[in-house]
Amino acid sequence: MKHFLDIHKTSQAELRSMIDTAKAVKTARQGQPKGMLDTDKPLDGHMVALIFEKPSTRTRVSFDVGVRQMGGQTMVLSGKDMQLGHGETIADTARVLSRYVDLIMIRTFEEETLLEMAEHASVPVINGLTDRTHPCQIMADVMTFEEQRGPIAGKKVVWSGDGNNVCASFLHAAGQFGFDFTFTGPSTLDPEQEWVNFARKQGVNVSIERDPVKAVTGADLVVTDTWVSMHDPESAKERRHNQLRPYQINAELMRHANDDALFMHCLPAHRNDEATSEVMDGPHSVIFEEAENRLHAQKAIMRWCLGK
């Protein structure tokens, strides 16, 4: 059973294979109508359940389009449709869904929900996001960097802001793809020490630097994410803004990165909070290439899960 639950739970060779497949899939479709099926239709006859306890734009559209381009069909289910863990256990839901569909993607809150789904499903399960990690996004980010600048191994990636679930998956990727990682942000929002330790044990340099200018100096890639979640109370939002203002990615900060450094943001963005529009729309930015590559990276992940 090939679940895609987290980057650090998948071998380096398999991750590299997925990135290579994503690049090939994208190249094969260049110049073709977006509604055209892939030549080999690897998901022909397959049904994929897309479960969203958390709302989404990019994850929902990219997975839905990806399945359709590969010849498959989707069943989109919201948290209200499912009421996971309320009334029926997650384990029983996993067992039932496995009788109907060939693949499950779930975007949820608690990591335990994902893990229980995978434990009891008899079909592959993909982590579309949890409060702890976001592996599909980072596979797209690695793909995007390598399209623009070549191999990411040995490069310096700087994360500025909140050490959240996207940051966690970047640390997993640092260990698996072999790039150095610097976190800059307030100590109250440091990434989980478990993930820092994982990357270091893989032999890459991971550092925490409170001064954003020092952190960004010599960076090949600068990344940030929204400062607040849609579920945060107003009091928490104000507190986070006060903490994170010094870590905004603006043109002055980007001047300390390498001349050919890239800027990424997984979106949605609060423009002129975590990053200025000048940076987001500027020459360093690849945020829309990054968004597009969610489609191609996730198609590669689904192919891998189903042995296609």
DSSP conformation class of 4:
B
Choose the catalytic residue: 46, 58, 134, 303: 134
Catalytic residue among 29, 58, 107, 265, which?
107
Host H or E run for residue 76: strand 73-78
- Radius of gyration for the chain, computed over Cα atoms and rounded to the nearest angstrom: 19
Determine how many CB atoms are found less than 10 A away from the CB of residue 207: 15
Is-contact 31 267, C-beta < 8 A? no
Burial classification of residue 281, based on how many CB atoms lie within 10 Å of its CB (0-12 exposed, 13-18 middle, 19 or more buried): exposed
- The DSSP call for residue 37 is P
Q: Which amino acid is at 151?
A: P
Would you call 154 exposed, middle or buried from its count of C-beta atoms within 10 A (0-12, 13-18, 19+)?
A: exposed
137 catalytic residue (yes or no): yes
Alpha helices in 150-276 (DSSP H): 165-177, 193-201, 212-216, 234-244, 251-254
DSSP line for 155-166 = -EEEEES---HH
Residue 136 known to be catalytic: no
> 3, 162, 240, 266: which is the annotated catalytic residue?
266
Q: Please pick, among 102, 141, 180, 225, the residue that the annotation labels catalytic.
A: 225
134 is catalytic: yes
Catalytic residue, from 46, 60, 294, 296: name it: 294
Q: Are strands 262-265 and 156-160 parallel, antiparallel or unpaired?
A: unpaired
Other CB atoms within 10 Å distance of the CB of residue 14 = 13
Q: How many CA within 13 A on the CB side of residue 213?
A: 2
Active site residue 270: no
Q: Do residues 170 and 223 make contact, with C-beta atoms less than 8 angstroms apart?
A: yes
Q: Tell me which H or E stretch contains 222.
A: strand 221-224
Which of these is catalytic: 137, 176, 248, 298? 137
Positions marked active-site = 107, 134, 137, 225, 266, 294
